[in-house]
Structure 1
Amino acid sequence: MAGLESTMELNNGVKMPRFGLGVWKSDNHAARDSVAAAIRNGYRAIDTAKQYGNERGTGAGIKLGLEQTGLKREDLFVTTKLFNGDQGNYERISKAFEGQLKDLGLDYVDLYLMHWPVDKTFVESYQAMERLLQEGKVRAIGVSNVDNQRMAQLIEAADIVPAVNQMEFNPTNQEQEVLKFDSSHGVTMTAWSPLGGGNSLKNPVITKLAEKYGRTAAQIILRWEWQRNIITVTKSVHEQRVIDNSHIFDFELSDEDVQTINQLDQGKRSLWYDDFKWHNPDGPYGDSVAAWDDSNDEL
């Protein structure tokens, strides 16, 4: 039966839940509370990153959620990401990863992603991640924000094909060429920003379908992504919205309506590699972890 415990098998046999909670732009306290709420309400996949500055809060939320539900660590699927500033050789990455485990309060993570393919280091960095996998510190490795050219470079140099490529994916940005290329190599796509930063919620096609099905605009989009077989990471710091976002398993979009949403694709990304500061000095994303007012507070 479809639901929050439904999984998709990755190319190394590991089963990943198809629907999870992300904590981008959440401070540590908000991450703790939303993660715990998600676990209480049936979510089994949690997605964070060192870049977000909230791995401690995410770990606190995991601990709290497990305590409140009686679940075990192995009942959850936890993803975090290699920080751009930590990329390089194995020794550098291994040390950074141990720090991430400490912040998360975990002995291992289920999926470790390269957050961005940083020039001159992303191949070496991925090879270091392969060693973490071989050492049993992670159950699967993958990448994020990787286009076809760089994915081809990684596959050529790697011993282990990435299990996942996490990309911005929503009605107006469907990454058709990346999805086609990755699928042909056994790489599973995961969607970040599945609601298009909220912009897709206002699309008249989506709002009309929401009225037709008696659902929220978010539920229409998330159900569409489910029927497209895209693993989805959605984000909210409000418990009721966390709950509402997961109520997509008791209805189905018609094939015609799926195709209608497919036609909304404009290839419009909210941010992309060429805007990234490590490649463009004027870009907005550099070698720094997001700083929050509560970063040093007790959790």
Structure 2
Amino acid sequence: MTAVPTITLNDGTSIPQLGFGVWQVPAEQAEEVVTHALQAGYRHIDTAAIYGNEDGVGAAIAKSGIPRDELYVTTKLWVSDFKAGSTHQALETSLQKLGLDAVDLYLIHWPSPADEKYLEAWKALEELQAKGLTRSIGVSNFLPEHLDRVAETGSVTPAINQVEIHPALQQREIQEANKKYGIATQAWSPLAQGAVFGDEPIVAAAEAHGVTPAQVIIRWHLQRGRILFPKSVTPARIEQNFDVFGFELTDAELDAIDALDRDERTGFHPAEFNPA
């Protein structure tokens, strides 16, 4: 089986650089889809409470027979739970659905910055880590100013900041802020939901290497040092997205993809997204 590179986090733990995401995977399909991903070789699964599919992810893990220490599982705390002060219960519920004693990584899903309650949530995550219910703690969709506030008030530095990054939205200021604090950058929507597949540098690289545009973009993320977890429910694409270790992009190809940045989002802007 292909050995996926790992990234060592600032807390000394390591994470497989390439994982499998289950955002928008229907609950009734999650077990089957994750089972196929595990069979294809993925050992890093990213889910979230708000996705509504933790049960299916847990069922696939339980049936896989893969030793727990060979899997890396991430889930996330939704805004309503930290605003209600129920962060501890939220993780307990996620663990029950996943069938696990602990997750490898627990993230605050969005800062919802209007009232700064994410700072209280961060302190709760520190407590959960101290209890051994999660090996690592981190954040998602945090802007540099949110990271600064966590650094000012918290006692643990986030291990990861998971943000939307793809060729059309490269968020260089966030990546620099992550680097400043020793936080690993993890990309969600790493393929821009296919919106960049027709961009000339990506098409040219795909033709040059005899691979798909998705495989080119995954290689770009990997070679730029980011962690990512592409999502698909199609078996062939699940396998293709993992089959990215037989070629390397040239420096010129990487630079050409870097030049595609145009501040084009597929999701919400973290400064403006304040869900209940």
Indicate the TM-score class for this superposition, using the shorter chain for normalisation. Answer: over 0.9
> What value does the CA root-mean-square deviation take over the aligned residues?
1.4
Separation in 2 of the partners of 1:244 and 1:199? 18
C-alpha offsets along residues 189-243 of structure 1, whole Å, 9 cap, x if unaligned? Answer: 0000010111011222211221111110000100011100000111011121111
Aligned counterpart, 1:115: 109
Q: How does 1:25-174 map to 2 (within 5 A)?
A: 25-64=24-63, 66-67=64-65, 71-88=66-83, 92-119=86-113, 120=115, 121-174=117-170
SS of the residue 2:177 aligns to: helix
Separation in 2 of the partners of 1:197 and 1:184? 29
C-alpha offsets along residues 101-149 of structure 1, whole Å, 9 cap, x if unaligned? Answer: 1111111000000000023210000110000001111000000000001
C-alpha offsets along residues 70-105 of structure 1, whole Å, 9 cap, x if unaligned? Answer: x21111000000011101476x11111111111111
SS of the residue 1:236 aligns to: coil
Separation in 1 of the partners of 2:259 and 2:4? 30
Aligned counterpart, 1:273: 270
Q: How does 1:170-249 map to 2 (within 5 A)?
A: 170-249=166-245
SS of the residue 2:255 aligns to: helix
Identity rate of aligned residues, in percent? 38
Separation in 2 of the partners of 1:274 and 1:159? 24
Separation in 2 of the partners of 1:26 and 1:76? 20
Separation in 2 of the partners of 1:62 and 1:180? 35
Separation in 2 of the partners of 1:236 and 1:174? 22
Q: How many residues align?
A: 273
Aligned counterpart, 1:292: none
Separation in 2 of the partners of 1:269 and 1:3? 32
Separation in 2 of the partners of 1:139 and 1:181? 23
Q: Give the unaligned 5+ runs of structure 2.
A: none
Counterpart residue type for residue 227 of structure 1: Q
Counterpart residue type for residue 95 of structure 1: Q
Deviation at 1:4, TM superposition (A): 4.6
Q: Give the unaligned 5+ runs of structure 1.
A: 279-285, 288-299
Separation in 1 of the partners of 2:198 and 2:51? 27
Range with greater deviation from structure 2 (31-40 or 8-17): 31-40
Structure 1 residues 74, 94: CA separation in 2 closer, same or farther (over 3 Å shift)?
A: same
Is the contact between residue 155 and residue 161 of structure 1 (CA under 8 Å) also seen in structure 2?
Answer: yes
Is the contact between residue 110 and residue 138 of structure 1 (CA under 8 Å) also seen in structure 2?
Answer: yes
Deviation at 1:274, TM superposition (A): 3.7
Counterpart residue type for residue 4 of structure 2: E
SS of the residue 1:16 aligns to: strand
Deviation at 1:26, TM superposition (A): 0.7
Counterpart residue type for residue 33 of structure 2: S
Deviation at 1:3, TM superposition (A): 4.5
Separation in 2 of the partners of 1:38 and 1:167? 22
Is 1:5 the counterpart of 2:26 in the alignment? no
Aligned counterpart, 1:24: 23
